Amino acid sequence: MLRIGELTVGYEPDAPVLHTVSMALPPNGVHAIVGPNGAGKTTLLHTIAGHLRPTTGYVMLDGHDITGIRTVRAARAGIALAPQGRRLWSSLTVRDHLTMTRPGAATAQEQGCGWGVDDLLEVFPALAARLHHRADQLSGGEQQMLTLARALRLAPRLLLCDEPTEGLAPTVADRIRAVLTDLPRHGVTVLVTLPQTRAATGLAHTVHVLTAGRLSDPVDPTTEHTEDLIRRHLGLTTDTEPPPRTERTTVRACHRPPTHGWHPPSQTPTPIVTRKGDQS
Ligand SMILES: Nc1ncnc2c1ncn2[C@@H]1O[C@H](COP(=O)(O)OP(=O)(O)OP(=O)(O)O)[C@@H](O)[C@H]1O
């Protein structure tokens, strides 16, 4: 679904933040990028989302070159970003956020598909009770749910989530992870950045490690030594015997049932049909 090749990105000339980053993600999975502060995780997501133009390299989505396309076109191509820090409109209500955002993917617009407001409130019931509250009146967890709901409203095929569990209570973080885990069943591929190794291995089908702008080969989180391998990529010491060096890991889709009891609004794997009148 997503193929990135030799991507070099920076904010200043001759000072790259990402160094020849390459990555290939299959569709319908949850894929994590783990890395310390300043590694370049946000820079990578923003480059995929069209906020930043790379110096060299390419970004391909479903075989189409989307390198450096503008944000609006990236949304129409099926990419949505749930940014770090949430970036909500503080004076607008939950309902405003959900009704002002419309499906961005061209196919979704043409077919009238997407996540309706009622569907999103089923996914995030906590928001239903807060529909008329302003964003700045929400808790951190509710703000994060609204950030994800707003991104899903764009009917993405690829959802980019930048540290979605940052600063949240464990139970709320579990809830967010449960929602992300289930999105592939609705045709949404998830690329999520996380600072913690353990959270990534419990959530993702593949894990990449980003350190100082350089991306590791994909790590299969189902293997026995995953956490050790990731810790080694991060340059952390480990008490256990290091795993044997393997060839570049083959990405393996391993479908896990959601573990936290969230039931999706639709049983079909395709995007949910928008209900007429849900934008009022
Ligand atoms: N707008 C900007 N202008 C200049 N430098 C920037 C800008 N945004 C980020 N950087 C620099 O790029 C590097 C990577 O930052 P980035 O935010 O991508 O890392 P990160 O892995 O997401 O970190 P964190 O986990 O702290 O959010 C850092 O050195 C940061 O200071």
Profile the chain (280 residues) by mean pLDDT over runs of 10 residues. 95 93 93 92 95 94 89 86 88 91 58 76 94 94 95 93 91 92 93 82 87 90 69 60 38 32 33 33
The binding-site residues of ligand 1, defined as CB within 6 angstroms of any ligand atom, are 11, 17, 35, 37-43, 84, 195
Contact in structure between 236 and 42 (CB atoms under 8 Å)? no
Ligand 1 atom nearest residue 46's Cα: 18
Distance, in Å, from the CA atom of 183 to the CA atom of 177, rounded to the nearest integer, reads 10
How many angstroms does the Cα of residue 41 sit away from the middle of ligand 1? 8
Beta strands in the chain (DSSP E): 2-12, 15-25, 30-34, 56-61, 64-65, 79-82, 158-162, 189-194, 206-211, 214-215
**Residue located via tokens 């928001």:** 127
Q: What are the C-alpha distances in Å from 33 to residues 77, 100, 167, 193, 228?
A: 22, 30, 18, 5, 16
pTM of the entire predicted model? 0.81
How many angstroms does the Cα of residue 162 sit away from the middle of ligand 1? 12
- Tell me if residue 21 falls in helix, strand or coil: strand
Nearest to 121 by CA among 260, 262, 258: 262
Nearest residue by C-alpha to atom 6 in ligand 1: 11
How many angstroms does the Cα of residue 40 sit away from the middle of ligand 1? 6
